[in-house]
Structure 1
């Protein structure tokens, strides 16, 4: 995967191997699935949509009632934009994606959501630490780390350090 600034403007240019594009598309499906089918007791959904008022049940219900639908819609739109962009391989089995700043930030939203779900699934409690269960799915752990690499690479392009 190559991440670079867009020629002549703000934004990001991604060049993905066909397998990387397919992986991102499949992972976007998984994020969508958690948002649509996740139950209230799914800790991954809890990471995506945390309780804003854990000590006030009434305020929590009101907050959920007024914000949840738009939060879920925004997260699903971000996942859909990833699916759309990664749909068809181009020449030499590469997928080249040009994102303006707004689109790139949408992708970063998706990558954050993805990493929150994967972190829950593999037992990452906070960045750099995980629980003692090393038998967790290596595929999910690798996907978590790879998504972090993509996210970090995009951030370096969008917000370079002076």
Structure 2
């Protein structure tokens, strides 16, 4: 995976992925979408994606969720769909090259954040700083995906926000 600024100095990023990496991102986007659509209220991953706005006031929290949840889910689903769309194009032998303008790149960052929150819950990472110390018996595939998504996310942020380095 290579993440760089877009050619010609345009705002945004250029991502070059191995075909397998593009397929993995597409599959992970499908899984995020499934969690958003099919996850039950008791799914702790949804608790990470949609934390209570009012921890000490259940009535206000429920009312807030009633007015905001649908649009938040729609935004997260659109972010996942943009990743699926981009990784599906130009998929052939070898490499997949994806050009994202700034708005698209920030959408990808939204998706990567959602993905990492879901994966963190699945592998038992309560705090990103504890990722290395989490239960070693958990699924290595999910842990690797969590760490890889963090690398992609960090690389994109370095390109999009060079001042923050």
TM-score (norm: length of structure 2): 0.94
Q: State how far apart, in whole Å, the 2-side matches of 1:6 and 1:22 are.
A: 22
RMSD over aligned Cα atoms: 1.3
Partner secondary structure for residue 32 of structure 2 = helix
Q: State how far apart, in whole Å, the 2-side matches of 1:112 and 1:29 are.
A: 15
- Alignment correspondent of 2:82: 81
Q: State how far apart, in whole Å, the 1-side matches of 2:108 and 2:160 are.
A: 12
TM-score (norm: length of structure 1): 0.95
Q: CA deviation at 1:51?
A: 1.0
Q: State how far apart, in whole Å, the 1-side matches of 2:26 and 2:71 are.
A: 22
- Alignment correspondent of 1:151: 153
- Alignment correspondent of 1:134: 136
Structure 2 unpaired stretches of 5+: none
Q: Which has the higher helix share?
A: 2
| Alpha-carbon displacement from aligned partner over 1:22-73 (angstroms, at most 9, x marks no partner) | 0000000010011000011110011001111121111111101110000000
- Alignment correspondent of 1:5: 5
| Alpha-carbon displacement from aligned partner over 1:90-111 (angstroms, at most 9, x marks no partner) | 4642111000000000000000
How many aligned positions are there? 162
